[in-house]
Amino acid sequence: MVNFLYELIKRRRSIRRFTEQPVEQEKIDMLMQTALLAPTSKNTTAWHFVLVEDKEMLAKLSESRDHGSQFASGAALVIVVLADAAQSGAWIEDASIASSYIQLQAEQLGLGSCWIQVRERMKNDTQSTEDYIRTLLNIPKNLNILNMIALGYSASTTDPEKATQIIEEKVHKKNLLIDRFHKEKF
């Protein structure tokens, strides 16, 4: 039996180099439909998404951090993931789930993607990444920015993850966890 989701997860990689090919509108629509189906705490749907395709704006978004965002300038699309913390105390979790759905859907559509962390990151010594992006995209103050997802057609290939690479020591069974904790103090 082939497990489609497992195979998709094994295949997905963080892609930081993209071709010049734009992402088709049908695929963008599918990414957004998938994001909007992501579950949220108490069904608050507190998340919001800003889609950026303009090359000049992508270049500016790529400057949002000293390290780790530069590749956004080469993406065909960046999705900025936000949420209203006043609407949901679980906004980080809700926006993270939606982001993961976007990345898995991107993989299924033949697109590469990479998460760019925004929350609690700094552009420089005096300005947060979030404040920089908020000003750049005119995002209201009531919305917190969790991350950006760079998307496009991958300019590189990587091998799928092998199941044997899973670190079994990270999985604990109830009785083993208790035994290990008392023996090794975790």
For the chain, the DSSP string reads: ---HHHHHHHH--B---B-SPPPPHHHHHHHHHHHHTS--GGG---EEEEEE--HHHHHHHTTSSSSS-GGGGG-SEEEEEEEETTT-TTHHHHHHHHHHHHHHHHHHTT-EEEEEE-TT-BSSSS-BHHHHHHHHHT--TTEEEEEEEEEE-BSS--PPPPGGGS-GGG---HHHHHHHHHHH--
- pLDDT given for residue 9 in this prediction: 86
| pLDDT for 2 | 73
168, part of any domain: no
In a domain, 39, yes or no: yes
CATH of the domain at 129: 3.40.109.10
Look at residue 27 and tell me if it is in a domain: yes
User: Which residue ranges in the chain fall short of pLDDT 50?
Assistant: 186
Q: State the pLDDT at residue 162.
A: 59
pLDDT of res. 11: 84
**Cα–Cα distance measured from residue 182 to residue 117, given in angstroms and rounded to the nearest whole number:** 36
Q: Are 77 and 151 in contact (CB under 8 A)?
A: yes
Instruction: Tell me, rounded to whole angstroms, the distance of Cα 72 from its chain centroid.
Output: 13
- What's the confidence (pLDDT) of residue 163? 53
Query: Residue 25: which domain range?
Result: 4-159
What's the whole-model pTM score? 0.87
**Domains held by the chain: number:** 1
pLDDT at 6: 85
> Which pLDDT does position 160 carry in this prediction?
62
